[in-house]
Amino acid sequence: MTNITNRPGYVEAFTANSSELAKFEPGQPQFHWNVVNMIRRFIKDSEGEAKGWRRQVTTLIAEKSWLKLGYNSLPELLEEALGMTAEDFLHEVDVYGGPDLVDIVSPHLGIYGCNNHKIAADKAARSQERRR
């Protein structure tokens, strides 16, 4: 597998200033890397507006950004770009996005049905309890 920093659009997206970011179009690799980076930052910092994060996750799914960045699947992108398993990402989606977003994301992670979703939901509930 290619080093992630050698993938098209990666360097441009991660070194762009805000006016350059605004010019990225959905067809460009930089646009998709920017979406991935915004998701990464939200998860890492656990700060920010969840509504904006929901939009980034929805964009990731709607645009199938993983394909446009040269990955065969969303779990492959998550593992290489975010260092997360599909289950970990689903947990984050559940905590910050809610069950409606889980329903949109989970099929693209290869996670269907009650068992894995229940595990992610239980993990999210425990996480929310700890925050209280």
* Residue-level pLDDT at 30: 93
* Residue-level pLDDT at 87: 92
pTM surpassing 0.85? no
**Interval 45-82: pLDDT, tens:** 765 566 678 889 999 999 999 999 999 999 999 999 99
For residue 64, the Cα-to-chain-centroid distance in whole angstroms is 11
Per-residue b/e over 69-94, b at no fewer than 16 CB within 10 Å? bebeebbebbbbbbebebebbbbbbb
Question: Per-residue confidence at 12, pLDDT binned at 50, 70, 90?
Answer: very high
Q: What share of the chain is helix, strand, coil (3-state, %, to 5)?
A: 75, 0, 25
Instruction: Tokens for 81, please give them.
Output: 């770009």
Pick from 58, 69, 54: which is nearest to 13 by CA? 69
Residue 118 confidence (pLDDT) above 90: no
**All structural domains of the chain with their residue ranges:** 4-131
Pick from 72, 81, 15, 99: which is nearest to 43 by CA? 81
Residue 125 confidence (pLDDT) above 50: yes
